[in-house]
């Protein structure tokens, strides 16, 4: 078995209102060709297929067109799980139709755990692979909240609930394999944070959780799993240096914070009762670059990029001490006639009336929501000893709003 693991496509995502359909199309075309050339038997997509719960027609067309072409690549199985950005109902709407094409969809946690354990069969109905298709586990899926719970109790319940869920699917999968009497691999999927997981500023991962509620340890994954295919973190990485527990990362940079980050898909191969993993680099379909500094530095870098002649989207941050009223005009003069395009130009601005920080100049949209909330508490002269419960309540509200509608923020 050769298994391709990918996640966090975020089809339909924009970058500073710039649509990215051409990038998504190029990635999906490349993925189809890679599946063909790599003789992939099973494709696993670990959540966040779409960027919002209500993807537009173009995003849907990209998705369904890709699925319709998979059969021509030789790939026999597809398993797709829901992420925190996906609508479980939307993903599962064509579930029965897609199952006829051996495309399995698990959009949300199931009441009957065996619905998340999928047996994939090959030629002559021979069992090939068991997939524990665990989607994004929402708070309500795995714990019962009680009035007056402390933050520590909530964290413990959350981690215990996630661990119990994986223990149940592992037990179900192991019993299934034992009943078959065939030594086939068991692969788990997940969409979550892990303790120590790497993120970068501007990578598009929204840390909405209170404390460490969703930051689970790798020990929650039972040893029954031969490979764990994770989604949610956009930086490709192993979990606790374990070769068999991995985040594939997002296939294209979701923000300028990921501009210099190399993107990969993971190919896990089951051979001689052992799993090995190979990383395959994804080409860069659209060049991004952040340019920060005073005007001489910005001018120098823009001229260098213009000389290179690559189609590049720019995020430009002026950090000089002297205001430049016609900054965009000066930038336009340099990049005119070149394939360079700026998506955002930021100059220092003061939001003292809102944030109470007259000594610091910054763009409001670049601030972390929790940091902004803390500054508001400070401006309103709320006693510091009252901050923790208010921050907790604020984060819980944000989490629940996001679970109801990932595009609400």
Is residue 115 domain-shared with residue 156, that is, in the same domain? yes
Kindly state whether residues 272 and 309 are assigned to the same domain: no
Q: Report the alpha-carbon distance of residue 23 to residue 46 in Å, rounded.
A: 20
Same domain, 302 and 263: no
Residues 177, 106 share a domain:
yes
215, 246, 281 - which closes a domain? 281
Spatial contact of 402 and 408, defined as CB atoms under 8 Å apart? yes
Counting the structural domains of the chain, the total is 2
Helices (H), 19-56: 21-37
List the pLDDT tens digit at each of the 409 positions of the chain: 999 999 999 999 999 999 999 999 999 999 999 999 999 999 999 999 999 999 999 999 999 999 999 999 999 999 999 999 999 999 999 999 999 999 999 999 999 999 999 999 988 899 999 999 999 998 888 876 666 677 677 778 888 899 999 999 999 999 999 999 999 999 999 999 887 777 776 665 655 443 444 578 889 999 999 999 999 999 999 999 999 999 999 999 999 989 889 999 999 999 988 999 999 999 999 999 999 999 999 999 999 999 999 999 999 999 988 888 789 999 999 999 999 999 999 886 544 444 444 444 445 555 567 777 877 877 777 877 777 677 767 776 766 665 555 544 4
Q: List Cβ neighbours of 198 (8 Å cut-off, separation of 6 or more).
A: 233, 235, 237
Are 251 and 62 spatial neighbours (Cβ–Cβ below 8 Å)? no
> In this structure, are residues 137 and 192 in contact, taking their beta carbons and an 8 Å threshold?
yes
Any domain includes 298: yes
Find, among 38, 97, 40, 108, the residue nearest to 64 by Cα. Answer: 97
pTM, whole model, 2 decimals?
Answer: 0.85
* Residues 176, 114 share a domain: yes
Identify whether 172 is part of a domain.
Answer: yes
Do 268 and 339 have their domain in common? Answer: no
- CA-to-CA distance for 398 and 223, rounded, in angstroms? 34
Domain containing 76 equals 2-281
Q: How far, in Å, CA of 233 to CA of 243, rounded?
A: 16
Last residue of a domain, one of 281, 316, 340: 281
Structural domain contains residue 261: yes
Q: How far apart are CA 65 and CA 110, in angstroms?
A: 28
Q: Are 270 and 42 in contact (CB under 8 A)?
A: no
CATH number of the domain bearing residue 315: 3.30.160.720
409 in any annotated domain: no
Phi and psi, residue 302, nearest 5° = -65, -40
Q: Are 77 and 145 contained in the same domain?
A: yes
Instruction: Mark whether 184 and 269 lie in a shared domain.
Output: yes
Q: Does 337 lie in the same domain as 222? A: no
8 A C-beta contact, residue 40 and residue 278: no
Q: In whole angstroms, what is the distance from residue 384 CA to residue 390 CA?
A: 10
What CATH number does the domain containing 146 carry?
Answer: 3.60.21.10
Last residue in a domain, options 281, 301, 333:
281
């Amino acid at each position: 078995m050769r298994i391709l693991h990918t996640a966090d496509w975020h089809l339909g995502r924009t970058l500073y209102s710039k649509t990215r359909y051409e990038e998504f199309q190029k990635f999906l075309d490349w993925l189809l060709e890679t599946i063909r050339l790599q003789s992939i038997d099973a494709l696993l997509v670990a959540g966040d297929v779409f960027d919002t719960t209500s993807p537009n027609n173009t995003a849907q067309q990209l998705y369904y067109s890709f699925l319709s072409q998979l059969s021509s690549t030789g790939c026999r199985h597809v398993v797709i799980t829901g992420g925190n950005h996906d609508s479980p109902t939307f993903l599962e709407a064509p579930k029965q139709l897609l199952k006829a094409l051996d495309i399995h969809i698990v959009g949300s946690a199931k009441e009957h755990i065996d619905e998340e354990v999928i047996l994939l069969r090959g030629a002559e109905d021979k069992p090939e692979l068991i997939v524990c298709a665990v989607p994004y586990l929402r708070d309500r899926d795995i714990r019962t909240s009680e009035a007056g719970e402390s933050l520590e109790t909530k964290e413990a319940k959350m981690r215990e609930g996630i661990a119990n869920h994986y223990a149940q699917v592992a037990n179900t999968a192991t019993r299934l394999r034992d009943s078959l009497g065939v030594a086939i691999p068991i692969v788990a999927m997940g969409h979550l944070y892990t303790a120590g997981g790497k993120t970068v500023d501007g990578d598009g991962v929204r840390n909405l959780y209170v404390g460490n509620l969703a930051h689970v340890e790798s020990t929650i994954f039972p040893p029954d799993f031969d490979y764990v295919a994770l989604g949610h973190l956009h930086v490709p990485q192993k979990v606790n240096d374990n070769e068999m527990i991995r985040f594939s990362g997002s296939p294209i940079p979701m923000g300028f914070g990921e501009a210099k980050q190399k993107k990969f898909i993971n190919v896990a191969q089951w051979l001689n009762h052992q799993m090995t993993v190979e990383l395959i680099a994804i080409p860069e379909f659209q060049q991004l670059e952040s340019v920060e500094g005073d005007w001489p530095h910005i001018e120098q870098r823009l001229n260098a990029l213009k000389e290179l002649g690559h189609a590049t989207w720019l995020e430009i941050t002026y950090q000089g001490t002297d205001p430049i009223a016609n900054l965009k005009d000066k930038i336009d003069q340099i990049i005119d006639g070149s394939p360079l395009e700026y998506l955002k130009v930021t100059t220092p601005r003061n939001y003292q009336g809102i944030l109470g920080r007259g000594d610091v100049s910054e763009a409001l949209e670049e601030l972390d929501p929790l940091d902004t909330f803390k500054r508001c508490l400070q401006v309103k002269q709320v006693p510091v000893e009252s901050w923790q419960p208010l921050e907790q309540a604020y984060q819980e509200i944000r989490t629940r709003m996001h679970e109801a509608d990932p595009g609400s923020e």
